[in-house]
Amino acid sequence: MINRKAFHSLSSGLYLITAKKEGRQCGCVVNTLVQVASEPPTLSVALNKENATTDTVRATGRFCATVLDQETPMELIGTFGFHSSVDTDKFAVCKVGADGSEVPYVVDHGLARFSVRVTETIDVGSHYLFVGVVEEADVLGDGDALTYAYYHAIKGGKTPPKAATYNGGDEAFSAPAPAASSESGAIDGEGAPKRVAWRCSICGYIEEGYPDGLPADYMCPICGAGPEMFERIEL
């Protein structure tokens, strides 16, 4: 038997993987970047076969990785994690650098960046596992690394369907408590009235200002979901 909850105990970080082919930049969010050897310094990353970034890494044999910090806004994660590079210029929303091979990497909210030359590609079903030697590595900033647990528990983030750790929407972590619930909202019969808000069930984005419901043409600014994907919450 396979108890999917067993996978929830695996810990990981959150990273941006970027690549470039014939002038076209692409990137995605992963939690599958791992150092697998020290000499030569070697990383592996698993990327979904349906990602545009995956095709680019397969074609060029190179990728960059940015280690994200805890302050990374959901908008940046959403842009890289819930949109396709085919129809979205993900790099328009952030500061970008380029390594010695002209592969772009995200600078904003980066703690460190790596440039990897792929030496082996392994077909692992839904994903390709790319193994490669680190050709460049540098520190970009100070702070704490964004872990997947923090992303879920504190930021209210969700797992995109194409992630290696996607378990059919069976989230590994419970949603965060509404921010005001431990303060004024917790006082029975007193305090400020609760505010109605709407939470995207795809990416976790919270929208306020529509107490009577989201407009029919509303679109989630993070993942593009329609109003039917939002659930009513109180803050």
Residue 130 binds to Fe ion (criterion: CB under 5 A): no
Residue indicated by tokens 């703690």:
111
Beta partners for 29? 16
User: Using CB under 5 A, which of the segments 27-35, 67-75, 91-99, 202-210 binds Fe ion?
Assistant: 202-210
- How many CA atoms within 13 Å lie on the side-chain side of 46? 14
What is the chain's length? Answer: 235
Residue 197 binds to Fe ion (criterion: CB under 5 A): no
3-state secondary structure of 127: strand
Query: How many angstroms from the chain centroid is the CA of residue 37?
Result: 25
Helices of type H across the chain: 52-60, 74-81, 148-153
Interface with Fe ion (CB under 5 A), residue from 33, 205, 214, 230: 205
Neighbours of 189 (CB within 10 A): 4
Considering the complex, state which of residue 76 and residue 116 has its C-beta at the smaller distance from Fe ion.
76
Nearest to 234 by CA among 156, 177, 188: 177
User: Using CB under 5 A, which of the segments 14-22, 175-183, 186-194, 205-213 binds Fe ion?
Assistant: 205-213
Considering the complex, state which of residue 120 and residue 208 has its C-beta at the smaller distance from Fe ion.
208
Size of the residue set binding Fe ion (CB under 5 A): 8
User: Using CB under 5 A, which of the segments 91-99, 145-153, 194-202, 208-216 binds Fe ion?
Assistant: 194-202
Q: How far is the CB of 216 from Fe ion (least distance, A)?
A: 16
3-state secondary structure of 153: helix
Q: How far is the CB of 39 from Fe ion (least distance, A)?
A: 42
DSSP code at position 200: E
Q: How far is the CB of 60 from Fe ion (least distance, A)?
A: 30
Residue 214 binds to Fe ion (criterion: CB under 5 A): no
Interface with Fe ion (CB under 5 A), residue from 93, 175, 196, 225: 225
Residue 223 binds to Fe ion (criterion: CB under 5 A): yes
Q: How far is the CB of 81 from Fe ion (least distance, A)?
A: 10
User: Using CB under 5 A, which of the segments 47-55, 124-132, 175-183, 224-232 binds Fe ion?
Assistant: 224-232
DSSP code at position 117: E
**Token couple for 56:** 């680019």
| CA–CA gap between residue 51 and residue 104 (Å, rounded) | 17
Neighbours of 227 (CB within 10 A): 17
Site string for Fe ion, 143-182 (x = CB under 5 A): ----------------------------------------
Residues found near Fe ion in the complex (CB under 5 A): 200, 202-203, 205, 220, 222-223, 225
